[in-house]
Every structure is written in C-alpha cells, then in structure tokens.
Structure 1
Amino acid sequence: MSIDISPRLLRYFLAVAEELHFGRAATRLYIAQPSLSHQIRKLEETLRTPLFTRTSRQVQLTAAGRTLAREAPKALAALEQAIQLTRLADSGIATTIRLGYTPVTGFDTLTTLLDALREDHPDLLIDPREFYSAEIPERLRTGDLDIGLALSPQPVDGVAGEILREEPVSALLSLRHPLADTPRIPVTALRGQTLLLFPRHLAPTYYDSIVAAFHEAGFAPEICAFDDPPVYAMLARLAGGREIGLAPASFAEHAAKTGTGIILREIVDPPILAELSVLWPTNDPSPAITSVLATARRSAEHNKWLRNPAT
C-alpha cells in the first residue's frame, strides 16, 4: 500500500518533534497552532499510528514518532538531493559522469581532459573507470558508462563517436638493442624483429591497422602479444634487449620514463598512426554529456591532438 505524505507534513512533524511543544513549533513555522495540530493529526491518520502523546503539561514522542524523527530527515535529504541533481543535470553543470578509458589513455589524454573538465565544470563529478578499448562501446550501449575514450573502437549500434586524438605509434626498446642508436626507425628496419603489441582482442581495429602497415611495407611482422598489465609486462620484456614494443606515442613516452634503460624511438617511412576516439550513447545524451564532449573537443584543439582537424 502506497502512502502519500508531502515533504511539508514531514517538516511540520520534525518541528514539533524537536520543540516538543505545539505553540513553539507553530511560531517557528509561522503558522497558527490549531492549523499545525490539524496537520499532525492528518499525518497520524495517514500513517495509522500516533506520533505523539499529549497531555496538558507535555508532548512526548511515541515509539513510532521516534522512528519517524530518525528517518524523516534522511527522506527529506534524499528528496532535496534528487531535486538538485535534476536541476543541475538540466543545466548540464553537475552530475556524475562515468568515464571509461583505456590503459594507453590514462597517462596523458585522460589527465589533460580531467584538468580541462575541472576548469570548465568544477561542479561536474567524474568517475574514471579503466577498461580495454574493446569493452568500452558495449558498456556505453548498456548504460554502464556515459563517456568513453577508446583506441580505434569498433562500431556498436546506439553508440556514436569521433576521433579525438591522432598520434604516431612509437617504438620502445632497450639501450642494448641494435636499433637503439637509430633516432628514427624505418618500418622496413623492423623486418625480422620481435615486436611486442597489446593482444588483438583488447583493441582489434588498432591491432589490425598496425599489422596492415607492415604488410603494405612488404612483410609480415613477427608479433608477440601478452595479456599482462601493458606497462609492466612490456617493460619487463624490453629489459632483455631483444624485443621492440609498439605503442601510441603518449603511452610510449610514459613507459620510457618508467623503465630504466628503455628509450623511445619514432617509426617512419611511413609513420603508423593510432586513433583515439571519444564515444557516447546516442539515446538522447544529457546536457552534462554534451558539456563533456564540448570540453573534449576544446582540449583536442588546444593541444593539437588532431593532425587534420575538421574546419
């Protein structure tokens, strides 16, 4: 059975519960005492239980009244929060945005975007969650995420996206590797080298684009994929000095700083590009999501993330 109780009735009740005096509570609420007494009786009738014991000398809470005095503030606070979040969501200023990102975006793109969001929308709450690129579109489709940053994502119905960042794929190698003294490594120089790459199932389109670049250069690459956490697995393997890691430049720069004796080298002739997209659900995105997208686009323009930005 549903019970319809207005927030006003709860506030009247709490005033009496705090004052334990109908006259003082009525003065506090700026209403007549008979009217307040009538409203409290109406509340008791609705709940079908007395909330106060009344005598000529005092007013006391019943067991039911003490329970309501404990729970009513929680109900009013929850209602107030719901109203506030609804208004803020309509304005696009404040709500919680669940942002999915990939390991390769967490060291530069994500931190830059979060800084920009704090500047543009200080009241916006961001909940960053790390996933692999292949997972993010589906999580957006099912409502698990609100915004995503994914590497060359595959199309999914109900999810829109646009390229946010284009950057070269770089080579990571040990100072002991024979190619360490080559500042710019041609693609053909990687023939016969063992190349470390994130497993295909984590970012299929990205993986395939890299393989295609080698085939266009006239040879099939020797790729060794790994399922361990990307940064640490790659650095541990590279320390041996015989393999070369492939990763987007911003991720590779972080990895090179993290690993002792690991250096970064540019891949050329031709360069291989990695494309990072921002994704969002197409089912009527909220003003808050629209605001995040606007900030993401501004960040891309300000940091020159796109090589050939749309005009």
Structure 2
Amino acid sequence: MDISPRVLRYFMAVAEELHFGRAASRLYIAQPSLSHQIRKLEESLGTPLFVRSSRRVQLTAAGKTLAREAPVALAALEQAVQLTQLAGSGIETTIRLGYTPVTGFDTLTTLLNAFHEAHPTFTVVPREIFSAEIPGRLCAGDLDIGLALAPQPFDGVSGEILRREPVSALLGTRHRLAAESTIPLKSLQDETLLLFPRRLAPAYYDGIVAACNEAGFTPTIRAFDDPPVNAMLARLASGREVGLAPASFAENAAKPSSNIVLRDVVDPPIMAELSVLWPTNDPSPAIAGVLATARRCARRNGWSTGL
C-alpha cells in the first residue's frame, strides 16, 4: 500500500472543511483532481472515508479514525526527516539531561542505551539534580530534558509521566522488620523514615505523608540533606532508620554487599511517578527525537503500567 504524505494532507483538508470545494481552494488544486485523489485513497484502503451527498460531506467511522491518526503519522514522518537530515549533516548534537538521584540506576541506564541506539550522532550529558530544581534549570536553558520525581507544574515546562512504580522499603539487615516478606505501612508508625527534604521533591514527600496518614499515623521523618546517595545507604545499613524509594532504585541499592534489604510496602501500597520534562517552547527536532525515544522505551519496558 503506497500512501503518500501529500494524499494524507489532501484527506486532512477535506476532513477539516467537510467540503470538497473549500478544501480544493485551500490546497490550490482543482476540485476534480482532489476528488480523484480521495477516491484513490479510499480504493487503496479498501473502505470509504466520506459519505457524500448533494448537501453535505460527512466522515465515516473509518474516516474519523484516519482523521485522528493521520496528523500523528505526518508529524512522525516530518520528525524522522529532520532527524535524518541532522544526522547526515555530521553536526554533533549535545543533549543535556538532568535526572533526579533515584533514577540513577535502572531508568537512566536503560534510557541512555536507547538514546545511543536510536541517535548515534547525539551526545547525551547526564547531570544529577534534585527534582524540584529541574524545571527552573530547563527554563533557564541549562538543561534540554529532565527526569523528575513527581514534579510540580511549572510555567514554560511541559511534561508527561514516563514511569509509574511502587515505593519499596530499604532496611538494614539487622532491622527488626528485615525478616518480613512484605511490610504493611502501619508497621512503620514507630520507625524513623529517612527521606530527602521536602523542598527537593515536594509532591513525592507529601505523597508518602498522605499514605501514612491514610494508614492511621503521622510519620516520623528525618530529612537527609547530603546529596551523595551512597551516604544515605550507609545510614540505612546501620539499621536505625527506614528508607522509602521507588522500586527500581531500591532493587539496585539492596545488594548483599550493602547490608540492605528490600521489602514491598503494602496496605496501602505507595506509587511513585517519574516524569520526563522539557521546555514548552523548544521546537528542536533533536529534543523531539529524544522524547519520542523515551516514550518508546517506556512502552517497551512497561514502565507506565506501574508493574
């Protein structure tokens, strides 16, 4: 089946105008020629796209589907052409990626591999930055893309959820709850929770507090303001505190050599949402290409399902 972008644009004009004469004038072509092209498209697809009468033109069910999908296909094709031209030009493109510390294991590694495979001429420079700082750095032009944990709305920054996953408990191997297979959230009511300060990821922090309140208690929280993640893990290994972190981070942190174990939190479970962010007004095909790759990577790995 050979359907050209030009014919899709012809179809979109008719679908928007619902009038062949107006669509032909808009496209600067003769109406008989436009009608002929649409009939050929319908023959190629094997289904009518319009119901034509002397009074009006209407989309069929198939036509409505194509009207929804055609702009997506045309945008993807345009982006593919721009990225191909960019790669063929030999110009090296650098993408500055800001990521929150908890993405520094599984998520970041998986994305960097996907970026390299899809865009070998791009150089992605990752920078570890706390979630609350990423939107401002995007607006200031210091970053091109961001990976933030439960970011708050920010003028000039667009975003979408890339990964949704459970929050797990990290405990020292000597902790009283380390022998449990799962940990009901209420079991942590007498524990001290080790979290990064609220100002660094407000929505994530507030979500944990809200879940504890739902379980019937107000949590005791000790803020950990020292950025190196390894220092936080050392604190947890001592067995006096409990960390709560997205499962993908916790799974990599809880290794036999670390003296830390990972346990699922239940009753209720807590979910963490990681979003990809970008400057709203940036039309760069390079950034659009990286975003498209991130979305494909998320779908391929089932990140958005929370499983």
Aligned to 2:300: 302
Residues 155, 144 of structure 1: alpha-carbon distance in 2 compared, 3 angstrom cutoff = same
Aligned to 1:190: 188
Distance 2:288 2:90 in 1: 8
Length, aligned pairs only:
225
Aligned to 2:266: 268
Q: Does 1:145 align with 2:179?
A: no
Give the alignment partner of residue 160 of structure 2, picking from 159, 162, 171.
162
Match for 1:152: what amino acid?
A: A
Deviations 1:132-173 (A, max 9, x none): 101100111111111100001111111000000011111011
SS at match of 2:131: coil
SS at match of 1:134: helix
Residues 230, 209 of structure 1: alpha-carbon distance in 2 compared, 3 angstrom cutoff = farther
Distance 1:256 1:293 in 2: 30
Distance 2:151 2:86 in 1: 31
Aligned to 1:133: 131
Contact 1:171–1:267 at 8 Å: present in 2 too? Answer: yes
Aligned to 1:215: 213
Residues 89, 174 of structure 1: alpha-carbon distance in 2 compared, 3 angstrom cutoff = same
* Amino-acid identity (%): 71
Give the alignment partner of residue 172 of structure 1, picking from 161, 170, 181.
170
By how many angstroms is 1:91 displaced? 8.6
Distance 2:282 2:191 in 1: 48
Residues 220, 91 of structure 1: alpha-carbon distance in 2 compared, 3 angstrom cutoff = farther
Contact 1:141–1:156 at 8 Å: present in 2 too? Answer: no
Deviations 1:169-217 (A, max 9, x none): 1101111111111111011111111111111111111111111111111
By how many angstroms is 1:259 displaced? 5.2
Residues 258, 105 of structure 1: alpha-carbon distance in 2 compared, 3 angstrom cutoff = farther
Residues 255, 275 of structure 1: alpha-carbon distance in 2 compared, 3 angstrom cutoff = same
Match for 2:295: what amino acid?
A: R
Contact 2:166–2:306 at 8 Å: present in 1 too? Answer: no
Distance 1:275 1:133 in 2: 12
Match for 2:206: what amino acid?
A: D
Contact 1:198–1:230 at 8 Å: present in 2 too? Answer: no
Aligned to 1:116: 114
Distance 2:102 2:91 in 1: 28
Distance 2:305 2:296 in 1: 15
Deviations 1:222-255 (A, max 9, x none): 1111111352222222222221111111111222
Q: Which has the larger radius of gyration?
A: 1
Contact 1:196–1:243 at 8 Å: present in 2 too? Answer: yes
Contact 1:92–1:291 at 8 Å: present in 2 too? Answer: no
Match for 2:204: what amino acid?
A: Y
Taking structure 1 as the reference length, what is the TM-score of the superposition? 0.68
SS at match of 1:291: helix
By how many angstroms is 1:261 displaced? 1.7
Cα RMSD, aligned residues only: 2.4
Contact 1:117–1:292 at 8 Å: present in 2 too? Answer: yes
Distance 2:205 2:284 in 1: 33
Structure 2 unaligned segments of length 5 or more: list them: 1-82
